[in-house]
Structure 1
Amino acid sequence: MANLLSLCLVFLINVSLFVSAQAPKRRFEYKLSFKGPHLVQRDNSVPFWEYFGDALAGDEGIRITPSLRSKKGSVWSKNKLEAKGWEIEAGIRITGRGRVGADGLAIWFTEGRASQTDNPADLVVFGAADRWKGLGVFLDSFDNDGQHNNPYIMAVVNDGTLAYDHQNDGSTQHIGGCLRDFRNKPFPVRVKIEYYNQVLTVKVHNGLTNNPNDFEICLSASNVVLPASGYIGISAATGGLADDHDVLYLLTHSLHDPTAESTQVSEEERQKFEKEFEQYQEELDRAKQDYRKEHPDQKDEYQDGDEQWYQSQNDKELRQIFDGQNVIHVILKDLNRKLDELMGRQEIVISRINSLPVGQGQPQGQPQQLGQQPVAGSIQRHEVDRVLGNQNSLLQQLGELKLVIGDVQHKINTIQSKGTGSAAGVSDQMALHEIKDRVNTVGNDVKSLLSKPQANLQCPPSSSESCLSATVFFIGLVAQFVLTIGYFVYRSNKEAQAKKFY
């Protein structure tokens, strides 16, 4: 049993490795793709693409046809897709006010492409020419055959000799399809077309969710032969009814065999790329020369090289020193302002204390009698305690300020030593000395403030006589005792009289 399980496990691992090894390699083809925002250039063109007819390009996408009757439009790539396998994903939004739309939209991979010089009367297949050679994936929204099987998505392969059957909606010509309602959806409808090893697969996102991976297989056909290279295009047309046919993005990937060895770039392709690079370089040089002619004052700016746009190490260190000096200057200004406020408050407190008379305003030897009011203008004990507390708090704050200023002075000395070691200029040294002098001045002011004599305060003398004599105390005690005895006697008499009623 164990051997059987191990064999099954090895078989599954080999199958998974084989499937993963056969997965094609994807390469993004930017010249065959477009996506917003900022899709349109200043000249109303889309890079590597050409649109004509009634198509209108905007920043977020391309409107192939507006919701007007009898309109045709298309957009085609300027370059061919040259790969044996490829994948095309298009984000489409088809909206209209009517219950039924018309006519529809088509995604093309053909050997030839349309152009602005084509006769509009020949564009009879969803805004493109008939008898194409390649693949057309049609999103048909109008029921021409009356079978009530629209909106419908289908794929039609043509070798250049087949005329599309409009009356029957191509029911006898398509290689597969599915019935999907792609009109008036809350999110864009996504169509993914994959062609690899002659197998064509079309997947559709219904536009009901915003999940980009929510695809369903619409059709799959094998032994499909398509041209080795072709143009990619999207076209649309309206008839008696009308819809807005918008293409928000189109992304193209080429699929390659992962087992094939990576081939080097051929000499022809290398010369082609070098030629394109030389052309771009010539256009850039020509643009620079034109700009120099139009702006002769800024001519030297482009001749000095790129060194003027970069900063040397010494300049970087000097800039750091200057930034540090600016920060220290701001801190010192703030400390100076706070110190001025503290000194002003100290002077106000000292002036108020000096304005008060010494002592309690009473001559000594004359005790204050019981119930006598204090003399007007005398200072109370709690006021003295409050003044002393404020003064101690002020001295503590000044001490902390002195420590902070000392720390700032130490940092300035450190910066000065670094500036000297990194070849700072004379102006830097003068600025540092000026800051040091200001810090020393602040320190001297703090020292003079701390050494300033304080006013002497005298506490009020305590009263020598007691507020209550012994005789008065004993008389009060005896009176209280008599009252207590009388209360108990009165209470017992009341209780004895109340018992007579029971």
Structure 2
Amino acid sequence: MWFAALSALWLAATALGAVNRDEEGNVRSISLRTHTLKQPYLDSDMQSRWYDFGQDTIVRTDSYIRLTSDRPSQNGWLFSRVPLTATNWELTVEFKVHGKNQLYGDGFAMWLTKERGQVGPVFGHADNFEGLGIFIDTYKNNRPGVVFPYVMAMVGDGKTSYNKDNDGKDTEFAGCSARGIRNANIPTKLRLTYFQDKSLKLELQYKSEEDWQLCFETTEPPSIPSVTYLGFSAETGELSDNHDIISIDAKNLYMPGGTSSKSTPGKGSAKPIKPQKTGGSWTWFFFKIIFFGLAVGGSYVGYTAWRASKKRTHRF
């Protein structure tokens, strides 16, 4: 019985997910299972519990979710089934944009929108969206002086269109060039961190592992709808590429004691990012319970053995 109780405690501890804090010990995080997606992606019924996908999307359970293959006129999407309602969150996405052609396009997008799974002309998603779009644009239409691939954010109000002819220049919230993000030699990732009314930060990893490049950061974040769906989409036209989602790690962020995070406004500037220290009070709390249970269980087993030996001695 005691062993079963300890197993239950262990499962409860791991179900909460990792708890992290920053270098100042303020920000902590709990894994959002409803928006995290990792291999093998699908269950025994060949469905995902938390995500839907459609159009030309292909799922390789041992490798990737391919939104578009390296073929013309492809369109694919991947969207969460339940909305993301956390006030503060961090989303880390490993992806891969690659192909064999010297001319390639068009790119893919990450969405936090009221709409979900709606096909359209904006990197495979419907135009006039409401929410936040992060575009990894690999094909340059008309943006003089800008190096591509280019990563940019657009805040949609449900009425404003994305202008493909100038690569969204007139509706850009913030962005940065990311030369080398396509056909990179390391796992490419993006990390989007949001604190409501406090900050929005986008970081990219494509030069070397654990070397996060700051794409943009602002202390005046856009107003993102309180109920949004997390999604991804991609499209190809005459030019094409493989657009793969490898994993999604979603976390709910919170600050004990009502402290606020510190961030510096900027656009396209880079600064070194310190790796987060792992470990937290909840994890240590559960481990103390487990250790206590082991001690109690061991004492019980020892006491039972002692009583049995006493009975045998008394009998003879």
TM-score normalised by length of structure 2: 0.70
1:183 alignment partner in structure 2: 182
Q: Per-residue deviation at 1:260?
A: 4.3
CA distance in 1, matches of 2:182, 2:69: 14
Aligned to 1:76: 79
CA distance in 2, matches of 1:98, 1:133: 34
Q: Is the Cα contact below 8 Å between 2:193 and 2:202 reproduced in 1?
A: yes
Deviation at 1:149, TM superposition (A): 2.7
What's the Cα RMSD here? 2.3
2:156 corresponds in structure 1 to 158
Query: Higher relative contact order by CA 8 Å / sep ≥ 6: 1 or 2?
Result: 2
CA distance in 2, matches of 1:146, 1:228: 33
Structure 1 CA distance for aligned equivalents of residues 129 and 257 of structure 2? 33
Match of 2:57 among 55, 58, 64: 55
Instruction: Indicate conservation of the 8 Å contact 1:175/1:221, yes or no.
Output: no
Deviations 1:198-244 (A, max 9, x none): 311100001x43x3x32110011232211112110011111111101
Which residue in 1 is equivalent to 2:100?
97
Between Structure 1 and Structure 2, the one with more helix by share is: 1
Q: Is the 8 A contact 2:112 2:229 kept in 1?
A: yes
Structure 1 CA distance for aligned equivalents of residues 84 and 257 of structure 2: 21
Q: CA deviation at 1:197?
A: 3.5
The answer on 1:205 being equivalent to 2:205 is yes
1:53-73 deviation digits (Å, cap 9, x = unpaired):
100112132111111101110
User: Which protein has the bigger strand share?
Assistant: 2
1:136 to 114, 117, 133: 133
Residues 338-362 of structure 1 show CA distances to partners (whole Å, capped at 9, x for unaligned) of: xxxxxxxxxxxxxxxxxxxxxxxxx
Larger Rg: 1
Q: Partners of 1:229 and 1:27 in 2: how far apart?
A: 19
Q: Is the 8 A contact 1:27 1:254 kept in 2?
A: yes
SS in 2 for 1:156: strand
After TM superposition, give the deviation of residue 77 of structure 1 in Å.
Answer: 0.3
> For the residues of structure 1 that align with 2:219 and 2:111, how far apart are their CA atoms?
19
Q: State the partner residue of 1:127.
A: 124
**How far is 1:258 from its partner?**
1.9
Quote the residue 2:169 is aligned against.
Answer: 171
1:25 partnered with 2:28: yes
Q: Structure 2 stretches of 5 or more lacking a match? A: 1-22, 260-300
Paired residues of 2:135 and 2:151 also in contact (CA < 8 A) = yes
- Structure 2 residue identity aligned to 1:161: K
Alignment of 1:13-412 (within 5 A): 20=24, 23-36=26-39, 38-59=40-61, 60-114=63-117, 118=118, 120=119, 123-145=120-142, 147=144, 149-181=147-179, 182-198=181-197, 199-206=199-206, 208-209=207-208, 211=209, 213-223=210-220, 224-260=222-258
Cα shift at 1:146: 5.6
Question: Partners in 1 of 2:50 and 2:196 — Cα distance?
Answer: 28
Do 2:143 and 2:167's aligned partners in 1 also have CA atoms closer than 8 Å?
no
What percent identity do the matched residue pairs reach?
27
Paired residues of 2:56 and 2:67 also in contact (CA < 8 A):
yes
How far 1:83 moved relative to its partner? 1.6
* Kept after mapping to 2: 8 A contact 1:40/1:58: no
Contact 2:112–2:133 at 8 Å: present in 1 too? yes
For structure 1, list consecutive stretches of 5 or more residues without a partner in the other structure: 1-18, 262-312, 318-417, 423-502
User: What is the Cα deviation at residue 113 of structure 1?
Assistant: 1.1
Query: Which TM-score applies when normalising by structure 1?
Result: 0.45
Aligned residues: 238
Asked if structure 2 preserves the Cα contact closer than 8 Å seen for 1:100 and 1:141, the reply is no
Cα 1:174/1:86, change in 2 over 3 Å: same
